[in-house]
Amino acid sequence: MSSERPWLAHYPAGVPAEIDLNEFSAIPDVFEAALAKFAGKTAFSNMGKSITYSDLDRMSRDFAGYLLGELKLKKGDRVAIMMPNCLQYPIAILGVLRAGLTVVNTNPMYTARELKHQLADSGASVLLVMDNFGNVAQDVLAQMPGVRAITTGLGDLLGFPKGAIVNFVLKHVKKMVPDYDIPGAVRFRDTLTLGRMHTLPKVAIGPEDLAFLQYTGGTTGVSKGAMLTHRNLIANMQQAAAWVGGNAKMGEEVIITALPLYHIFALTANCLVFMKFGAHNHLITNPRDMPGFVKELKSVPFTAITGVNTLFNGLLNTPGFDQVDFSRLHLTLGGGMAVQRAVADKWKQVTGCTLAEAYGLTETSPAVCINPLDLREYNGSIGLPVPSTEVCIKDDDGHLVAGGEVGELCVRGPQVMRGYWQRPEETAKVIDADGWLHTGDMARVDAQGYFYIVDRKKDMILVSGFNVYPNEVEDVIAMMPGVLEVAAIGVPDDKSGEAVKVFVVKKDPALSADAIKAFCRENMTGYKQPKHVEFREELPKSNVGKILRKELRDPPKAA
């Protein structure tokens, strides 16, 4: 076994080769185990307000009661959640799961086009949306009468008078809440009151039931729902918990959650793993406000933080960050995009804590590899495969490559998704007959079993840890009457790792870069929008007329 999995010999002390898949059968079981031990401890805090594990139990039960008792949803129905990090989020997620329903995490920055696709594709029955994004939801729900709406304000659970002040300032001072009108919408606070009147029935939830439809571009442009079962998420929680367990103190961890909970990294690593440890999860609503973020860090005695390279880089370049108290910080985990050596080195220098890089995918719930947490310094690797996980490197014909050679990273394990929602042909493209998930990432492995990402096979662009698919960007820009042809690629960017660059052949000579960017702002969320626009007379193509993005990324050298 160890010859097939050389990494086992290099596992940190105490980390098992295999995890116990049968300890929990569904995610609510994980919460109930935490509740039994940590009922009175703080579970989540946000904007100065905290809720205990008991509060989370009561409110999530009330929300589940509303969904089943008032809305009469049936097991397996989908509930979409469109919010930034706030106290309502974990309450809603847990309520949906306790009711035997499926969570559809929805990026609150979605445009109407993107939101409509996700609601229609998932067949969501309900949309829970924050007021800030109500105007987008209003336009979409007007065309989808079957979807019921629940709305909430950022301040709604912060108590009086703070909550009322937060809501007033957001709407009338900062102008961050546009007017909207969604007929029949119910306020989140009212759902809790109504749900309290219903006894929550005992819903039989099994390991193979769907917990999340987590949308991703996968390997092509259309956004697809990765079907993540309770077993998938629990397996990955157990894998990651085994990895960090030797470093974590039960009931004493305080983790900073700045990555959005709709992103699989924060959902599993911060929510589930640290819930098992009875941790206090400190939610950051707007990490883009770096001065405000640093101010919060100064007031929280945190022990752990997760993030993407751009987040760590942003903090390091914000005045005052070096004055934060890092004396309790023992875990920094970076994922979602490649961690840059310069950032990792500076993080260690400023905080005294090694920035350990991890690797995962939406399709793997997400963790595949993590570096040992007792690592002295950044090593350029994505780490070792987590317990109960097989990882190998294959060539284009599906054969294993020799050690040290570059090929496609493939993964097999209990955390690998069931497939893409209602897309069997797309599933068959990425999961082969032997159960190996083909990631599309090019990698190599060394003799100790450490894996290194070399390049990406697919054309995906990675902006601040978010996948951007050229097909989608091209499809949107191609809708402009003045555009003849368009191709999108990723180019290096100091702030976001990569940025989107588009090459456009004009149909209308008056077409400008500003007009293209304005059109994209209306139709795509921020990280997908092109930062660079270059006009060309023609685009490079293959002999069958396919645009060759590779030649735009790496122009052939002149003879």
Res. 542 pLDDT band, cuts 50 70 90? low
* pLDDT number for residue 409: 96
* pLDDT number for residue 177: 96
Beta-bridge partners for 213: 104, 227
* pLDDT number for residue 136: 97
Out of 429, 456, 483, pick the residue that ends a domain: 456
Domain count, the chain: 3
Identify which of 387, 444, 441 has the alpha carbon closest to the alpha carbon of residue 415. 387
* pLDDT number for residue 227: 98
Sheet of 254-257: strand order equals 49-52, 42-46, 280-283, 254-257, 304-307, 331-334, 355-360, 367-370, 384-385
* pLDDT number for residue 64: 98
Q: What is the mean pLDDT of residues 288-294?
A: 95
Q: Are residues 416 and 499 in the same domain?
A: no
Q: Are residues 468 and 449 in the same domain?
A: no
In percent, the amount of the chain with pLDDT more than 90 equals: 81
First to last CA, the chain: 51
Pairing mode, strands 331-334 and 304-307: parallel
Residue 392: inside a domain, yes or no?
yes
Res. 246 pLDDT band, cuts 50 70 90? confident
Q: Which of 32-36, 227-231, 266-270, 538-542 has the lowest mean pLDDT?
A: 538-542
Q: What are phi and psi of 53, to 5 degrees?
A: -60, -35
Higher pLDDT: 543 or 439? It is 439
Q: Which of 83-97, 446-460, 488-502 has the lowest mean pLDDT?
A: 446-460
Task: Identify the CATH number of the domain in which residue 185 sits.
Answer: 3.40.50.980
Q: Which of 137-141, 345-349, 440-444 has the lowest mean pLDDT?
A: 440-444
Burial of 354 (0-12, 13-18, 19+ CB in 10 A): buried
Q: Are residues 201 and 58 in the same domain?
A: yes
Is a pLDDT exceeding 60 seen at residue 14?
A: yes
Out of 176, 205, 234, pick the residue that ends a domain: 205
Q: Are residues 53 and 200 in the same domain?
A: yes
* pLDDT number for residue 216: 87
* pLDDT number for residue 220: 47
Residue 284: inside a domain, yes or no?
no
Q: Which of 69-78, 127-136, 466-475, 483-492 has the lowest mean pLDDT?
A: 466-475
* pLDDT number for residue 22: 93
DSSP 44-67: EEETTEEEEHHHHHHHHHHHHHII
Domain that holds residue 447: 388-456
Q: Are residues 401 and 536 in the same domain?
A: no
Q: Which two tokens stand for residue 555?
A: 């122009």
Quick count: other Cβ atoms within 10 Å of Cβ 385?
26
* pLDDT number for residue 175: 96
Q: Are residues 450 and 527 in the same domain?
A: no
Q: Are residues 160 and 64 in the same domain?
A: yes
Render pLDDT for 504-534 as a digit per residue (tens, 0 to 9). 999 899 999 999 999 999 999 999 999 999 9
Q: Are residues 416 and 535 in the same domain?
A: no
Q: What is the mean pLDDT of residues 382-410?
A: 93
Quote the CA–CA distance of 379 and 373 in Å, as a whole number.
12
Task: Identify the CATH number of the domain in which residue 445 sits.
Answer: 2.30.38.10
Residue 403: inside a domain, yes or no?
yes
Average pLDDT over the chain reads 93
Identify which of 123, 51, 40, 120 has the alpha carbon closest to the alpha carbon of residue 92. 51
Is a pLDDT exceeding 50 seen at residue 108?
A: yes
Residue 490: inside a domain, yes or no?
yes
* pLDDT number for residue 547: 80
* pLDDT number for residue 543: 52
Q: Are residues 452 and 467 in the same domain?
A: no
Q: What is the mean pLDDT of residues 29-47?
A: 97
Is a pLDDT exceeding 70 seen at residue 456?
A: no
* pLDDT number for residue 559: 43
Task: Identify the CATH number of the domain in which residue 470 sits.
Answer: 3.30.300.30
Q: Which DSSP symbol is given to 555?
A: P
* pTM score of the predicted model: 0.87
Is a pLDDT exceeding 90 seen at residue 65?
A: yes
Q: What is the mean pLDDT of residues 431-440?
A: 95
Q: What is the mean pLDDT of residues 212-239?
A: 87
Identify which of 141, 128, 42, 120 has the alpha carbon closest to the alpha carbon of residue 82. 128
Is a pLDDT exceeding 80 seen at residue 557?
A: no
Render pLDDT for 331-383 as a digit per residue (tens, 0 to 9). 999 988 778 788 899 999 999 999 999 999 999 999 999 999 988 888 989 99
Out of 188, 205, 222, pick the residue that ends a domain: 205
Residue 471: inside a domain, yes or no?
yes
Is a pLDDT exceeding 70 seen at residue 545?
A: no
Cβ-contact 482, 511 below 8 angstroms: yes
Q: Are residues 507 and 439 in the same domain?
A: no
Beta strands in 292-366 (DSSP E): 304-307, 331-334, 355-360
Residue 8: inside a domain, yes or no?
no
Could you give the angle at the alpha carbon of 386 between the alpha carbons of 380 and 388, nearest 5°?
Answer: 150
Quote the CA–CA distance of 18 and 11 in Å, as a whole number.
12
DSSP 184-201: T-EEHHHHHHHHTTSPPP
Q: Are residues 74 and 163 in the same domain?
A: yes
Is a pLDDT exceeding 50 seen at residue 310?
A: yes
Q: Are residues 395 and 537 in the same domain?
A: no
Res. 218 pLDDT band, cuts 50 70 90? very low
Residue 182: inside a domain, yes or no?
yes
* pLDDT number for residue 558: 53
Q: Which of 5-14, 155-164, 287-296, 546-555 has the lowest mean pLDDT?
A: 546-555
Is a pLDDT exceeding 80 seen at residue 240?
A: yes
Residue 468: inside a domain, yes or no?
yes
* pLDDT number for residue 282: 98
Is a pLDDT exceeding 90 seen at residue 217?
A: no
Higher pLDDT: 46 or 404? It is 46
